[in-house]
Chain A
Amino acid sequence: MEKMRFLASVAAFALAMLPVTSHATIDTIAVDVGISVFKTMPIGVVPFAEKKSIDWIEEKPHLIVTRDANLSGRFDVVSSDKFDLPLFSKTHAKHYITGKVTPVGKLLKVECFLYASQTKDVMLGESYTVEQKDMRRALHQFFDQVIYRLWGERGVASTKLAYVSKIDGVKQVVVSDYDGFHRSQITRDTTISMMPVWMKGNAGLYYVNFKTHRPKLYSKTFGGVERSVFPQLEQTYSPAVNPKTGELLFSSTVDGKTDLYIGDPSTGRAKKFAYLKSNQTSPAWSPYASEVLFTSDRGGGPQIFAMGKDGSDLRRVTFMGRYNERASWSPEGDRIAYTSMDAGHMNIYTCALDGSDIVQLTSNAGNNEHPTWSPDGKLIAFASNRSGSYQIYIMRKDGSNVTRITNSGENTSPTWSFFYDDFKQPTKGR
């Protein structure tokens, strides 16, 4: 069995690596087999050498890399003050990361390296000359290169989250890096803003605002102006962006009846998506936008349903419990994450596409809701009030390794960005 799994993983890896020529060491690759088995790769992290003493305002580079490695869900970090072959050997850390920082005028030159522990061969090297405040993002870029080199997949260290922050008592839409750093406020209204989702290509956000005393959809590109989206429709909310076309699927309520609509924000045209007797909300697209998930109250309470984009093959997905809501389709296509209420508490679950194989990811820790998949499908961000106030957390898709990424105020409703298209495949090690 173990051998078969190994062969399968080698085959999977070989397939993944086909388009790139790489000498990456195949025997270190871990592939997660089944949903609840999350294999991680040990990796050494050594503090970066500093030429001249540096006045650190930000975290030191090796700490940023360590956080990326931990958050990624892919690695077990082996921290060491210096290169330590016996330690790396004992912990099976076949690679380690370190680097060098040199002040260049007001800037910092940050050289980052991924080494093979046994041979000390450089597997990857990148150099960034940046202001200290931009060093974190440079290291995120480097870390995504590391993931690509070792896993043959894109990592999420350079992605972002949009979420809702209570600022001076009003819910506002904000954006931060995926690790919670570099938060910037997007809406500045005196009325509630909520439900942010990313435009295709991460050019901006769609969200809901109450300035007209009712929920209405708006769009705002980063650095651009706010526009009303589908102003011809009544109360509009619950937006979901088609990852292939950029179309919006959303809810609109007319005379107390809520239906799904589909529209193209670039033309402003929208039409009813499905004619159903029930109320429908919380739409979500499959990764290739051929199918949608949504919530319907046809059974009284909220339950999750699926159907084809053309309205075909309507089927109920969830049957356990009375309150299953806000489904989202994993980027790998094989699982659905959703929120379920039991005894007044919200918790996050995943299930197979047919509703079987239910796995509860959170329990006994306040309310846990609004799961959103990382674009690589390895992680789920969500909001929880387990600490007293609502904050954003990231966990692996099996519910392990829960890490809080926001600390103050009240933060809810995270949605993960798409991949940024400017990712460059790593150059060969020097």
Chain B
Amino acid sequence: MKNFVKLAVVASAAALCLVACAKQQQPQTEPEAAPAPAAAAPAAEPNADSLAAEQARLEAERLAAERARLEAERARLEALINQIMSEDVYFDFDRSELTEKAKELLAQVGELLIKEERFTITIEGHTDARGTEDYNFTLGAKRAMKVKEFLIAYGVDGKRMDSVSYGKEAPKVEGSTEEAYSQNRRANFRVNIKE
């Protein structure tokens, strides 16, 4: 289940990134591509062909470089997104206070968010399988909020962060052992890219 959720999250984040990149790319390429044939046709000079070919070659080179740059940027963002999404913050049973370890992790996430201003995040609060569905929603919400409050205090704009509770509905690890419970009492992140 956890894997499924995570994959879905990665996929949606990646898709968002691609959409964002594609949208950025279009306004740059189209205006240049359009005037080229317009300039070539009416001139009808002998070297028009070679000029057009040269222009096309330069354009292709530029596009390739742009693609490579976008690819590198995309890979870098994806790595960052993956890093943020792998930073689960853990809690004690029926508690929403942040542990020292959680604070260290969150400081790193905060640092990333401050550098990457296009990132917005959804903080998801989760609980272990014990207890009722209803109360676990409130508990997951408290955990997500504690994380959000920490990041605001760290310097991240609160408007870039949304918090949501999944209660006990999306466990990372199945099972009813303390090991599984401790993995499931967590907050994790979903990353989106603002245009």
A residues near B (Cβ < 8 Å) are 169, 171, 192, 194-195, 210, 213-215, 235, 237-238, 251, 253, 255-258, 279, 281-282, 295, 297, 301-302, 323, 325-326, 339, 341, 344, 346, 369-370, 413
Contacts and interface: CB of A to CB of B under 8 A. Distances in A.
A47 B191 CA distance: 65
Interface string B157-178: 0000001111101000000000
B137 A256 contact: no
B94 A281 contact: no
Contacts, number: 86
A281 B130 contact: no
B185 interface: no
A281 B164 contact: no
Interface in B136-167: 137-138, 141-142, 144-146, 148, 163-167
A238 B148 contact: no
A222 to B, nearest CB: 23
A282 B164 contact: no
A235 B135 contact: no
B122 A256 contact: no
A256 B138 CA distance: 8
B23 to A, nearest CB: 22
Contact of B169 (A210, A257, A346): A210
B145 A281 contact: no
B134 A295 contact: yes
A213 B164 contact: yes
A215 B167 contact: yes
A251 B138 contact: yes
B134 A237 contact: yes
B134 A235 contact: no
8 contacts: A215-B167, A255-B148, A256-B145, A257-B141, A281-B134, A297-B135, A301-B94, A326-B132
A341 B122 CA distance: 31
A256 B141 contact: yes
B122 A213 contact: yes
Contacts of A279: 138, 141-142
Contacts of A413: 133
B164 A258 contact: no
A326 B136 CA distance: 11
For chain A, what secondary structure do more than half of its interface residues adopt (helix, strand, loop), or is it mixed?
Answer: strand
A258 B163 contact: no
A346 B130 CA distance: 8
A215 B165 contact: yes
A255 B145 contact: yes
B131 A323 contact: yes
A413 B169 CA distance: 13
A369 B135 CA distance: 13
A215 B167 CA distance: 9
B176 to A, nearest CB: 9
A344 B164 contact: no
Q: Which of B122, B145, B164, B190 has the most CB of A within 10 A?
A: B164
B137 A251 contact: yes
A282 to B, nearest CB: 4
A256 B146 contact: yes
B137 A255 contact: no
B133 A258 contact: no
Given A256-B146, A301-B94, A346 B138 contact: no
Contacts of A323: 94, 131
A256 B169 contact: no
A12 B173 CA distance: 55
B132 A282 contact: yes
Given A255-B163, A256-B145, A323-B131, 11 more contacts: A194-B133, A213-B122, A215-B165, A235-B164, A238-B134, A256-B142, A258-B137, A302-B135, A325-B131, A325-B135, A370-B132
